[in-house]
Structure 1
Amino acid sequence: MEQLHFDSFTKKIYIKAPLEKLYWCWATKTGIESWFLRKARYSGAKGHPRKDDDFIKAGDSYIWEWYNWNGRETGTVLGTNDKDFLEFSFAKVSRVSVNLEEKGDAVLVSLKQFEIPTDEKSKMEIYNGCSNGWTFWLANLKAYLEHGILLNEKEFDLTEIPEAGHVFVNM
Structure 2
Amino acid sequence: MKKLSFDQFTKRIYIRSTPEKLYWCWATEEGITSWFLRAATFSRNGERLQPDKPVSKGDSYTWMWHNWDGEEKGQILEANGSDFIVISFAGNCKVTVSLKKADEAVLLSLTQSDIPTDDDNKLKVHYGCSNGWTFWLANLKAYLEYGIRLNETEFDLRNEELAGYEFVNM
Is TM-score (shorter-chain normalized) higher than 0.5? yes
- Corresponding residue SS for 1:159: coil
TM-score normalised by length of structure 1 = 0.97
- Corresponding residue SS for 1:54: coil
Gaps of 5+ in 1: none
Does structure 1 residue 70 correspond to structure 2 residue 87? Answer: no
Q: One-letter code of the match for 2:149?
A: L
Does structure 1 residue 30 correspond to structure 2 residue 30? Answer: yes
CA distance in 2, matches of 1:82, 1:88: 14
CA offset at residue 94 of structure 1?
0.3
TM-score normalised by length of structure 2 = 0.98
Structure 1 range deviating more: 59-68 or 158-167: 158-167
Map of 1:144 onto structure 2: 143
- Corresponding residue SS for 1:112: strand
For these two proteins, the number of residue pairs brought into alignment is 170
Map of 2:43 onto structure 1: 43
Q: One-letter code of the match for 1:50?
A: L
CA offset at residue 3 of structure 1?
3.9
Q: One-letter code of the match for 1:152?
A: N
CA distance in 1, matches of 2:162, 2:61: 27
Map of 1:14 onto structure 2: 14
Map of 1:165 onto structure 2: 164
CA distance in 2, matches of 1:119, 1:160: 27
CA distance in 2, matches of 1:48, 1:42: 8
- Corresponding residue SS for 1:83: coil
CA offset at residue 2 of structure 1?
4.7
Q: How does 1:80-159 map to 2 (within 5 A)?
A: 80-159=79-158
Q: Do the aligned partners of residues 2 and 88 (structure 1) sit closer, same or farther apart at CA in structure 2, a change above 3 Å counting?
A: closer
CA offset at residue 4 of structure 1?
3.0
CA distance in 1, matches of 2:77, 2:102: 26
CA offset at residue 128 of structure 1?
0.5
Structure 1 range deviating more: 3-12 or 125-134: 3-12
Q: One-letter code of the match for 1:71?
A: G
Cα deviation per residue 1:92-130 (whole Å; 9 max; x = unaligned)? Answer: 120000000000110000000001111111111111000
CA distance in 2, matches of 1:17, 1:134: 19
Q: One-letter code of the match for 1:105?
A: E
